[in-house]
């Protein structure tokens, strides 16, 4: 009995620390305060890494022996393309959590992710087509990756459109979460069918990654920019989620306290 008590007191606080942290994140006022403290650091990390990565990418890294200076679009294009896919994956996981355990914070986070993901997809598409002009000789090719990126953009727009179309915030979020999950189930099928469709119609598409080896002087700026993009996502996501939270809880006590603190 006595030993039982001691082991419980020893193990319980350890377990509680993480569980409590996750539980607290689900509470709107706590999330609001916590993210408010975190956001400046995320923006700072993003700014520092972007300046460093862009310096390395635009000034230090050499031009490609085939593509010349246009290869520098890669430092924007590739991180944006990675982010567009990663955010959709994250949205699918968060939607699952939101729908199964009915956590409102997760609904808000998923819906705040969608516009950021769509923006990254547009950046990836636009920079990709600008990159295609000097290397492929045309702005747009129905290349497998461009096409699946375009379909991904449509999926994002569907989620955003559905969320905006329904007036009641929680219902809108739950419907859009379900759609995001359905899209995530379909996404691998879409990706592979488009890839395979592309090999079927041997068109004018040119494989860009002839040799997959990339020099370290080019790899470093790319990786730094990729990490910077993740910090941008984090900062932007939390900022959006805070605004959405304030909007939804407009008439609740904790928001009134926040407004009072800010105005005084």
Partner 1 sequence: MTTAIRTGEVSGEVSEVRTGSLRKAFFALLRRDLLLAFRRRTELLFPVIFLLVVISLFPLGIGPSPQLLARIAPGVIWIAALLATVISLDGLFRSDFEDGTLEQFVLSGHPLTLIALAKIVAHWLVAGLPLVLLSPLLAIWMNLPLDSLGVMILTLALGTPILSLIGSIGVGLTISLKRGGQLLSLLVFPLYVPILIIATAAVMAASDGLPYTAFLGLLVAGLITSLTLAPFAAAAALKISLS
Task: Give the one residue of 135, 193, 239, 248 binding partner 1; rule: CB under 8 A.
Answer: 193
Task: Give the one residue of 162, 238, 241, 245 binding partner 1; rule: CB under 8 A.
Answer: 162
Q: Is residue 158 within the footprint of partner 1 (CB under 8 A)? A: yes
Task: Give the one residue of 1, 18, 22, 200 binding partner 1; rule: CB under 8 A.
Answer: 200
How many angstroms separate the CA atoms of 58 and 72, rounded? 6
DSSP letters of 102-117? --HHHHHHHHHHHHHH
Task: Give the one residue of 48, 197, 204, 259 binding partner 1; rule: CB under 8 A.
Answer: 197
Q: Is residue 196 within the footprint of partner 1 (CB under 8 A)? A: yes
With b meaning 16 or more CB within 10 Å and e meaning fewer, what string describes 199-227?
Answer: eeeeeebeeeeeeeeeeeebebbbebbbe
Task: Give the one residue of 138, 186, 204, 257 binding partner 1; rule: CB under 8 A.
Answer: 186
Paired tokens of 235:
């900062």
Give the chain's end-to-end CA distance (angstroms, integer): 54
Segment contacting partner 1 by CB under 8 A, of 82-90, 112-120, 182-190, 248-256 = 182-190
Q: Give whichever of 25 and 151 is closer to partner 1, judged by the CB atom.
A: 151
Q: Give whichever of 182 and 208 is closer to partner 1, judged by the CB atom.
A: 182
Contacts with partner 1 by CB under 8 A: the residue count is 27
Q: Is residue 22 within the footprint of partner 1 (CB under 8 A)? A: no
Cβ neighbour number for residue 11 with a 10 Å cutoff: 10
Restricting to residues 81-140, which ones interact with partner 1 according to CB under 8 A?
A: 99
Segment contacting partner 1 by CB under 8 A, of 15-23, 66-74, 171-179, 245-253 = 171-179
Cβ neighbour number for residue 248 with a 10 Å cutoff: 17
> Quick check: 108 and 249 in contact, CB under 8 A?
no
Q: Give whichever of 148 and 236 is closer to partner 1, judged by the CB atom.
A: 148
How many angstroms separate the CA atoms of 164 and 63, rounded? 44
Cβ neighbour number for residue 4 with a 10 Å cutoff: 8
Residues in contact with partner 1 by CB under 8 A are 99, 151, 154-155, 157-158, 161-162, 165-166, 171, 174-175, 178-179, 181-183, 185-186, 189-190, 193-194, 196-197, 200
């Amino acid at each position: 009995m006595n030993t039982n008590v001691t082991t419980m007191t020893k193990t319980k606080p350890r377990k509680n620390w993480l569980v409590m942290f996750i539980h607290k994140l689900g509470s709107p006022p706590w999330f609001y305060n916590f993210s408010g403290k975190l956001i400046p650091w995320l923006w700072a990390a993003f700014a520092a890494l972007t300046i460093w990565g862009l310096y390395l990418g635009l000034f230090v890294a050499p031009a490609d022996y085939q593509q010349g200076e246009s290869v520098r679009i890669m430092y924007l294009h590739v991180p944006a393309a990675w982010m567009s896919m990663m955010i959709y994956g994250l949205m699918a996981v968060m939607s699952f959590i939101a729908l199964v355990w009915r956590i409102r914070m997760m609904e808000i986070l998923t819906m705040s992710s969608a516009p950021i993901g769509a923006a990254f997809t547009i950046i990836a598409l636009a920079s990709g087509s600008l990159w295609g002009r000097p290397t492929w000789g045309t702005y747009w090719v129905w290349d497998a990756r461009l096409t699946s990126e375009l379909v991904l953009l449509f999926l994002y727009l569907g989620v955003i459109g559905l969320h905006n179309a329904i007036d009641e915030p929680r219902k809108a979020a739950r419907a859009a979460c379900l759609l995001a999950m359905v899209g995530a189930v379909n996404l691998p099928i879409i990706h592979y069918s488009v890839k395979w469709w592309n090999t079927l119609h041997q068109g004018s598409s040119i494989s860009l990654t002839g040799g997959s080896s990339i020099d370290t002087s080019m790899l470093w700026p790319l990786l730094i920019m990729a990490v910077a993009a993740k910090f941008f996502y984090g900062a932007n996501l939390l900022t959006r989620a805070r605004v959405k939270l304030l909007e939804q809880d407009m008439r609740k006590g904790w928001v009134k306290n926040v407004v009072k603190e800010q105005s005084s």
